[in-house]
């Protein structure tokens, strides 16, 4: 009885059968009442006729005669037989009454059986139709057509099977779309990497050819070539390392070590890593806790990866700042999120640049030649992986402001 469809069919058949029995019972009661009413009318006519024709006969004598308390049954039988009220008469009359009951009961039984058969065949037809639908459904799946839906809300086994197939279809569709997107991203990344590496590799090849073809090259020029080659190799190593990190995030292989992070310690670490660049650019960086109570501000994340993300953002701010300008870093927290704001006084960016600033290999018009165009994209991946969000506001000629918010985890 675990089959839901079988249970439903049996329940329908039992309901039809019980309804037939009820109909038969009610019909028998009705026919019995009709027969009783005929007998009643017949008896009333007999009593009325006797009383009318024999007024001297008392009611007590009449009732005693009707109830068989007086008179001879044999005499009565002889008289009735003389006028045709014999056994054949009773057989015919009572046979008609039995026929009425039999016809009714037979009709009800026929209708009940017919309804049971109809219920069975309708259920069988619906089952066959669902099986054909599922077969067609699977045929479409084999054609990689995942745009299939189910509107059947029944709870039988075939519907449950169809719904499971639908869920599997959605999973296959998502997997297919993800793989398509992944392949497209991979193809685009390979094109971007090839494009990014082509120029420095060509430059390195030319300089090495010059060194090889001119053994008597001046020492100073040779050192310039070697220094330039070293810078190009460092740039390519930085690109490869950044791409590897992004690839790990894309593949979902990064396991973040989520712990409570003190924001002031994180920012101090980032600034120490960038101290040489900050000193070379001669930029003043100030850090401020905007909480009124001055409590230590924290959020939950992976310290090493967040250091990578914030370092890239601060490095971007330093690179786009003029000498002797300021960079302002503030942080605060509330019951919902922890926020870090990084604002520079650089040249700012256009709305077009701001829309694409987090795209891989995107370089703004005022980006330096050494820029890889991947640091902010990596920073965004890291921040979002730690339940955070990043947005940027910028005004050309005024500066740029990054807002980073880490949602509280409960």
DSSP characters over 218-240: -HHHHHHHHHHHHHHHHHHHHHH
Q: Which of 3-17, 60-74, 82-96, 245-259 has the lowest mean pLDDT?
A: 82-96
Q: How confident is the model at residue 406, as a pLDDT?
A: 94
In a shared domain, residues 202 and 307:
no
The residue whose two tokens read 């590897």 is 244
In a shared domain, residues 264 and 245:
no
In a shared domain, residues 12 and 135:
yes
Question: Which residue, 251, 278, 298, sits at the end of a domain?
Answer: 251
pLDDT value at 177 more than 50: yes
The residue whose two tokens read 């019909």 is 27
Give the residue-averaged pLDDT of 110-114. Answer: 78
| CATH code, domain with 297 | 3.30.565.10
More confident residue, 407 or 58: 407
DSSP structural state of residue 319: H
Q: Answer whether 242's CB lies under 8 Å from 372's CB.
A: yes
| CATH code, domain with 203 | 1.10.287.130
Backbone angles phi, psi at 362, to 5 degrees: -80, 130
Q: Name the average pLDDT for the chain.
A: 77
Query: How long a stretch of residues is the chain?
Result: 410
In a shared domain, residues 279 and 362:
yes
Q: How far apart are CA 262 and CA 406, in angstroms?
A: 13
Q: How confident is the model at residue 248, as a pLDDT?
A: 74
Q: How confident is the model at residue 150, as a pLDDT?
A: 54
Q: How confident is the model at residue 159, as a pLDDT?
A: 66
Give the residue-averaged pLDDT of 84-100. Answer: 59
Q: How far apart are CA 230 and CA 236, in angstroms?
A: 10
pLDDT value at 341 more than 90: yes
More confident residue, 86 or 205: 205
Q: Is residue 152 part of a domain?
A: no
Q: How confident is the model at residue 1, as a pLDDT?
A: 40
pLDDT value at 196 more than 80: no
Q: How far apart are CA 65 and CA 379, in angstroms?
A: 116
104 burial class (0-12, 13-18, 19+ CB within 10 angstroms)? middle
pLDDT value at 53 more than 90: no
139 burial class (0-12, 13-18, 19+ CB within 10 angstroms)? exposed
Query: If pLDDT is split at 50, 70 and 90, which confidence band does 138 have?
Result: confident
Helices in 83-156 by DSSP H: which ranges?
A: 87-142
37 burial class (0-12, 13-18, 19+ CB within 10 angstroms)? exposed
Q: Is residue 150 part of a domain?
A: no
Q: How confident is the model at residue 69, as a pLDDT?
A: 59
Q: Answer whether 385's CB lies under 8 Å from 304's CB.
A: no
Please write the tens of the pLDDT for every residue from 152-162: 555 556 666 76
pLDDT value at 237 more than 60: yes
As a whole-number percent, the residues of the chain with pLDDT over 90 amount to 15
Q: How confident is the model at residue 185, as a pLDDT?
A: 65
Identify which of 116, 110, 165, 109 has the alpha carbon closest to the alpha carbon of residue 142: 165
**Domain that includes residue 270, residue range:** 259-407
More confident residue, 302 or 94: 302
168 burial class (0-12, 13-18, 19+ CB within 10 angstroms)? exposed
3 state DSSP class of 342: strand
Query: If pLDDT is split at 50, 70 and 90, which confidence band does 359 have?
Result: confident
Strand runs (DSSP E) across 296-387, as ranges? Answer: 298-301, 326-333, 337-344
Question: Which residue, 204, 229, 251, sits at the end of a domain?
Answer: 251
As a whole-number percent, the residues of the chain with pLDDT over 70 amount to 75
Query: If pLDDT is split at 50, 70 and 90, which confidence band does 343 have?
Result: very high
Give the residue-averaged pLDDT of 117-146. Answer: 73
Q: How confident is the model at residue 2, as a pLDDT?
A: 45
Q: Is residue 147 part of a domain?
A: no
pLDDT value at 28 more than 50: yes
Q: For residue 173, give both structure tokens.
A: 């569709």
Task: Please name every residue paired with 247 in a beta bridge, in sequence order, or none if there are none.
Answer: none
User: CA separation (Å) from 134 to 125, 154, 172?
Assistant: 14, 15, 17
In a shared domain, residues 123 and 23:
yes
3 state DSSP class of 252: coil
Structurally, the chain folds into a number of domains equal to 3
End-to-end Cα separation, the chain, in angstroms? 46
Query: Can you say whether residue 408 is alpha, beta or left, with left for phi > 0 and alpha for psi between -120 and 50 degrees?
Result: beta
In which element (H, E) is residue 60 found?
Answer: helix 59-66
Q: Name, of 76-90, 213-227, 325-339, 358-372, the range with top average pLDDT.
A: 325-339
Q: Is residue 53 part of a domain?
A: yes
Please write the tens of the pLDDT for every residue from 255-312: 888 899 999 999 999 999 888 889 888 999 999 998 876 678 999 999 989 998 999 8
Q: Which of 93-97, 248-252, 315-319, 376-380 has the lowest mean pLDDT?
A: 93-97
In a shared domain, residues 366 and 294:
yes
Q: Is residue 314 part of a domain?
A: yes
In a shared domain, residues 31 and 122:
yes
Q: How confident is the model at residue 276, as a pLDDT?
A: 86
More confident residue, 129 or 382: 382
Question: Which residue, 251, 268, 289, sits at the end of a domain?
Answer: 251
pTM: 0.52
Q: Is residue 151 part of a domain?
A: no
Q: Is residue 324 part of a domain?
A: yes
Identify which of 130, 109, 127 has the alpha carbon closest to the alpha carbon of residue 119: 127
Q: How confident is the model at residue 168, as a pLDDT?
A: 75
Q: Is residue 242 part of a domain?
A: yes
Q: What is the 3-state secondary structure (H, E, C) of 159-204?
A: HHHHHHHHHHHHHHHHHHHHHHHHHHHHHHHHHHHHHHHHHHHHHH
In a shared domain, residues 395 and 275:
yes
In a shared domain, residues 217 and 86:
no
């Amino acid at each position: 009885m675990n089959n839901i469809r079988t249970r439903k069919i049996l329940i329908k058949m039992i309901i039809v059968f019980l309804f037939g029995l009820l109909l038969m019972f009610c019909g028998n009661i009705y026919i019995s009442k009709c027969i009783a009413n005929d007998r009643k009318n017949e008896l009333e006519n007999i009593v009325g006729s006797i009383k009318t024709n024999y007024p001297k006969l008392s009611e007590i004598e009449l009732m005693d005669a009707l109830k068989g308390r007086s008179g001879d049954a044999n005499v009565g039988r002889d008289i009735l037989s003389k006028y045709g009220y014999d056994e054949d008469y009773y057989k015919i009359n009572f046979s008609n009454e039995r026929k009425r009951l039999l016809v009714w009961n037979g009709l009800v039984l026929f209708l009940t059986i017919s309804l049971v058969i109809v219920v069975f065949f309708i259920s069988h037809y619906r089952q066959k139709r669902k099986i054909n639908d599922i077969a067609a459904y699977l045929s479409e799946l084999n054609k990689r057509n995942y745009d299939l839906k189910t509107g059947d809300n029944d709870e039988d086994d075939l519907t449950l099977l169809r719904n499971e197939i639908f869920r599997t279809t959605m999973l296959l569709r998502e997997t297919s779309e993800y793989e398509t997107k992944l392949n497209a991203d991979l193809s685009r990344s390979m094109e971007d990497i090839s494009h990014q590496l082509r120029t420095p590799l060509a430059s390195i090849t030319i300089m090495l050819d010059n060194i090889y073809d001119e053994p008597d090259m001046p020492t100073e020029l040779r050192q310039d070539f070697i220094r330039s080659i070293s810078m190009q190799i460092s740039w390519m190593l930085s690109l490869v390392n950044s791409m590897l990190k992004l690839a790990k995030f894309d593949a979902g292989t990064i396991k973040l070590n989520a712990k409570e992070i003190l924001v002031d310690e994180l920012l101090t670490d980032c600034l120490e890593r960038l101290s040489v660049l900050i000193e070379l650019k001669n930029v003043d960086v100030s850090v401020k806790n905007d909480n009124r109570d001055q409590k230590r501000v924290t959020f939950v994340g992976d310290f090493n990866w967040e250091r990578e993300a914030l370092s890239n953002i601060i490095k971007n701010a330093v690179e786009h700042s003029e000498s002797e300008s300021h960079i302002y870093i503030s942080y605060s927290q509330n019951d919902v999120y922890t926020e870090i704001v990084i604002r520079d006084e650089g040249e700012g960016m256009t709305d077009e640049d701001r829309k694409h600033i987090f795209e891989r290999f995107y370089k703004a018009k005022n980006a330096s030649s050494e820029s890889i165009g991947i640091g902010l994209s990596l920073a965004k991946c890291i921040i979002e992986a730690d339940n955070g969000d990043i947005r940027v506001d910028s005004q050309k000629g005024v500066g740029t402001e990054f807002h980073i918010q880490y949602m509280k985890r409960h």
